Amino acid sequence: MFGINQGAVFADIRIRHAKEISELSLDGYAIGGLAVGETHEEMYAILDETVPYLPEEKPTYLMGVGTPVNIIEAVDRGVDLFDCVYPSRNGRHGHAYTAYGRMNLLNKRYEKDSRPLEEGCGCPACRRYSRAYIHHLFKAKEMLGMRLLVLHNLYFYNHLMQEIRDAIEAGQFSTWKRNKILALSGNLVYSKRDE
Ligand SMILES: [Zn+2]
């Protein structure tokens, strides 16, 4: 049973509530009511204010978050657990997450692209299928296209969490974070030109 911190973007309410639920000996603590329309900066500010008042030895769970960058920023502020529809919903809409941003497989540029979604990815989609084939599946409205992108995106997110754990254990999270966010936010290869 987790205690769920509430208080919208009001730090005083968040902190008071965090203190109250921390007195109950619960299995973990969640931060709810964020990622509901406030800016990312507001969300990070509330995490900065609130997480220090939750028990450090218990898991901290940020509900409904988020993009890869949101997750990295939240981990930096002490969050351990996440849940989010992005990998599956964006996959169903033709979007694949990669280390260099998102790509839109509906784009015509992938029509004859024989490469996997992401070079070196070990997911079932990348091991067996090309961008061109997945593009074709989406154009043909074949269910398999959605399934392959969801598989890839879930693999991407799981791999991201593994990378985060490895970086923390190696004592190199700050450096890893800086490089990772630069790459993810650059969208140099795919996303900006696709959308
Ligand atoms: Zn993949």
Give the distance (Å) from ligand 1 centre to CA of residue 105: 13
Say which DSSP state 94 is in.
Answer: T
Give the distance (Å) from ligand 1 centre to CA of residue 151: 7
Give the distance (Å) from ligand 1 centre to CA of residue 16: 43
Give the distance (Å) from ligand 1 centre to CA of residue 140: 21
DSSP-based helix, strand, coil % in the chain, nearest 5: 55, 10, 35
Give the distance (Å) from ligand 1 centre to CA of residue 156: 7
Give the DSSP H/E element, type plus range, for residue 143: helix 143-169
Give the distance (Å) from ligand 1 centre to CA of residue 162: 15
Q: Can you say how many angstroms the Cα of residue 63 is from the centroid of all Cα atoms in its chain? A: 12
The answer to whether residue 191 scores a pLDDT higher than 70 is: no
φ/ψ of 184, rounded to 5, equals -65, -35
pLDDT of residue 185: 78
- pLDDT, tens digit (0-9, with 9 covering 90-100), for 70-105: 999 999 999 999 999 999 999 999 999 999 889 999
Give the distance (Å) from ligand 1 centre to CA of residue 125: 5
Give the distance (Å) from ligand 1 centre to CA of residue 103: 12
Give the distance (Å) from ligand 1 centre to CA of residue 118: 6
The answer to whether residue 116 scores a pLDDT higher than 70 is: yes
Ion ligand 1: residues, CB < 5 A: 117, 121, 123, 125-126, 152
- pLDDT, tens digit (0-9, with 9 covering 90-100), for 119-171: 999 999 999 999 999 999 999 999 999 999 999 999 999 999 999 999 999 99
pLDDT of residue 192: 42
- pLDDT, tens digit (0-9, with 9 covering 90-100), for 4-44: 999 999 999 999 999 999 999 999 999 999 988 999 999 99
Residue-averaged pLDDT of the chain: 94
Q: Cβ(70)–Cβ(43) under 8 Å?
A: yes
Spatial CB neighbours of 144, under 8 Å, sequence gap ≥ 6: 137
Give the distance (Å) from ligand 1 centre to CA of residue 70: 21
